[in-house]
Amino acid sequence: MAQWRLGVVASGVLWLAASPAAAQADEQLARDDRIAELERKVEVLTEELDRTRSEIAVPELPELKSHYGMGPAASKIYDATRGLSIGGYAEGFYRKLVEDSGGAKDSADWLRMVLYAGYKFSDRILFNTELEWEHATSSATESAGAGSISVEFATLDFMWRDEANARAGLVLVPMGFLNEVHEPPFFHGVNRPEVEREIIPSTWRENGVGLFGSLWGESVDYKAYVVNGFNAAGFSASGLRGGRQNGNRALAEHPAFVGKLEGSPLPGLLLGGSLYLGNSGQNQKLASVAPAPPGTLKVPDTFSVLWELHSEFRMYNAAFRTLFTMAHLDEAAALTAALRASGDIGATEVVADEMLGVYAEVAYDVWRLFFPESERSLEPFFRFEYLDTQHDVPSGFAADDSERVRIYTAGLSFKPIPNVVLKADYRNLDPEAGSLADELNLGVGVAF
């Protein structure tokens, strides 16, 4: 019995001695578990931050890549894996008029600030949009009228495969170089070419639906849309620009078709062309004004055809770009008579049967001639334009020769990094009748 009691006492003593050690071991295990849980949470947060950075934040790479013929900054959503993508561009300029006798003033303008916002719902469905603030404010000032806030495009894309994808919404009309790629670091000159402003009326967007994709191993891009047509009541002697409806409660009595093909048959060579056709009358009537007899005037159907061919060749540090375009309008005589009677154009103004524009541009990067590995570039360029919105007028009407203009532009584009450009150019405008002031232009542009 004594031995049994002695054993119990010894066990108790050993248990009491071991209890603190056991407690310390349990606490250590608990601390280890908490540390492991914290490490796991930190790892999860790090992965989440990396995902957010890759899907939402601006990428660190300085160069932007174009997809499906869109502007490089406008194409960021296509590189996103999921979620939100943000980009944009901005440009401003100073213009000094040289030997002007018309009373115009030198000017400085923060021309536009643009925000691209896209959202990738899945690998198959994405939304992309461009929001634009023009002329810095939506309020009028003592110097000028109000600026504007506009949606430049807003498209819902359904991605199926490289060869065939669908698009619906407010689309950029795929014509020429600049209507889709108009971000300032990616074209020369402070001003966009007048040919791609008045005949191809950039920035031109309409409500529509269609297909787009890349064929033959991405060597050829195509787009084919059905859109609401022009409104012919906005046409003038100066061109088609006023006929854009821009998605604003657009008249859609007359739809139109537009298609574009663009490809690179050889390294450094880009060839492309586009075609637009459709009626532009929109089944509308205009009220006549004095001295025309009172009444209403039907706008003729005005079947409109606009086409262009363009090319670009790049070799080493040189780039050469050309574009030729023509517009053909049926019933231009009846349209001119209706617009004169309604007061939409002047009493001597005439909308032409045919309009023509052409330009050629050459540039050379002298910076990379001496520093071939540098990301900087310095490109002197020269561009010649001929703009003739009175190329052929209806029988019985007199053409306005002041609308036939030759434009000579010489300048520099300097990029300290690929997405930032400083520009300077001199424009000589030479109309066949009358005179226009020469311009000295300084500009800045960014894309991100």
Q: CA-to-CA distance for 88 and 75, rounded, in angstroms?
A: 10
Q: What beta strand segments (E) does 317-437 contain? A: 318-329, 354-364, 377-392, 404-417, 420-431
Q: Where are the domains of the chain?
A: 1-55, 66-447
Give the helix/strand (H/E) hosting 255: strand 255-266
Return the pLDDT at 129.
97
Q: CA-to-CA distance for 115 and 121, rounded, in angstroms?
A: 19
In the numeric block, the tokens 């040919």 are attached to 195
Q: CA-to-CA distance for 155 and 6, rounded, in angstroms?
A: 90
Q: What is the pLDDT of residues 169-203, one digit of tens each?
A: 999 999 999 999 999 999 999 999 999 999 999 99
CATH of domain 66-447: 2.40.160.10
Q: CA-to-CA distance for 330 and 282, rounded, in angstroms?
A: 14
Return the pLDDT at 101.
64
State which amino acid sits at residue 404: R
In sequence order, the β-bridge partners of residue 226 are 209, 257
Q: What is the CA radius of gyration of the chain?
A: 32
Q: End-to-end alpha-carbon separation of the chain, Å?
A: 91
Q: What is the pLDDT of residues 344-365, one digit of tens each?
A: 999 999 999 999 999 999 999 9
CA 299 to chain centre: 32
Burial letters 380-404, b for 16+ CB under 10 A, else e: ebebebbbbbbbbbbeebebbeebb
**Beta-carbon contacts of residue 418 (< 8 Å; ≥ 6 apart):** 62, 63, 64, 185, 375, 377
pTM of the model as a whole? 0.85
- Is 171:225 a contact under the CB 8 Å cutoff? yes
Spans in the chain with pLDDT lower than 70? 1-26, 50-63, 100-101
Q: Is 428 exposed, middle or buried (0-12, 13-18, 19+ CB in 10 A)?
A: middle
Return the pLDDT at 58.
46
Beta strands 125-134; 148-161: pairing state: antiparallel
